[in-house]
Amino acid sequence: MFLTRLRLMRYRLFMQRSLLRSVTKQTPLSILLPCAEGEVPDGLANFDPNRCFSKLRLFKAEDLTLQKLRSREIKHFLECVALRDAYNRNDRFALQRSFEQLWPFITGQNQWKETALPAMTDRIQGELAKAFSTGSSARADWKSAELYLPQLVSKAIEKVRLVLWYSRQSQVFTPALYSPDLRTAIFLKALFGEIRTCPQCKRPFVPVNSNQDYCSLAHQAAYRVARWRAKKRKSTRPIQQRKAGN
């Protein structure tokens, strides 16, 4: 019995260490940002003839804290990342929650023109209605994510430019991604998989390995319980409705 417990403790320790092992994929290109007042520049916008002497800096790890973003920018960003992560995990429970939170951004109901998507043509709306009516409601959820998430993220990074930049630090010409603001740069980082959101607490975190979907083991367990309870409530609802009808 003692040896069994000892082996179990070793296995748990091994799993915890595996979760903390850093194998995070890094952005293949440097991300450049305009320098704010007081920030140390890393170079100039020598790729732009209209502002070639404007100071630029490289995106830093501390930029991932999101502290410099406005509240609605943070909400929009976190829900987009959460929707992507839920789709990749095949987690319909999280996908539905994120899509509901993003709907005001999609339709422009929150009066933020930067995120509102153009109205669809009648032909596309008809095709979508037909696709949803022929499938289950579950399939409609996945279809909605497949349709809207690429549009939301692509709109958020539409002002990014691929440029050739002269780096003062390395003293070489190198390709880079120029972002006009911090919000756009953070979306780029998420696009490359460097930022995820925890399904339980909805907080952003930098995964330390490719299989990490939660910010902690405790939140992983808590979320699984919450998802199980939600499924159980949904499965018992039709039975309760039939009893009430009788």
> Among 65-69, 101-105, 232-236, which stretch is predicted with the lowest mean pLDDT?
232-236
CB of 31 within 8 A of CB of 174?
Answer: no
What is the C-alpha separation between 191 and 157, in angstroms, rounded? Answer: 10
Nearest CA among 212, 167, 175, 171 for reference residue 193? 212
pLDDT value of residue 202:
81
**pLDDT at residue 63 above 60?**
yes
Q: Tell me the per-residue pLDDT of 166-199, one tens digit each, with 9 for 90 and over.
A: 887 778 899 999 999 999 999 988 888 888 888 8
pLDDT value of residue 246:
54
DSSP 199: T
Better-predicted residue by pLDDT, 191 or 136: 191
Mean pLDDT of 197-215: 84
What is the C-alpha separation between 172 and 42, in angstroms, rounded? Answer: 13
Better-predicted residue by pLDDT, 131 or 48: 48
Mean pLDDT of 48-62: 90
pLDDT value of residue 151:
87
Phi-psi region of 124 (alpha: psi -120 to 50; beta: other; left: phi over 0): alpha
What is the C-alpha separation between 214 and 126, in angstroms, rounded? Answer: 38
Q: Tell me the per-residue pLDDT of 151-163, one tens digit each, with 9 for 90 and over.
A: 889 988 999 999 9
Better-predicted residue by pLDDT, 141 or 22: 141
pLDDT value of residue 54:
93
Strand runs (DSSP E) across the chain, as ranges? 30-34, 43-44, 55-58, 161-167, 172-178, 196-197, 204-205
Instruction: Give CA separation, 221 vs 35, 83, 97, 215, 225, in Å.
Output: 42, 20, 19, 11, 6
Better-predicted residue by pLDDT, 60 or 5: 60
**pLDDT at residue 140 above 60?**
no
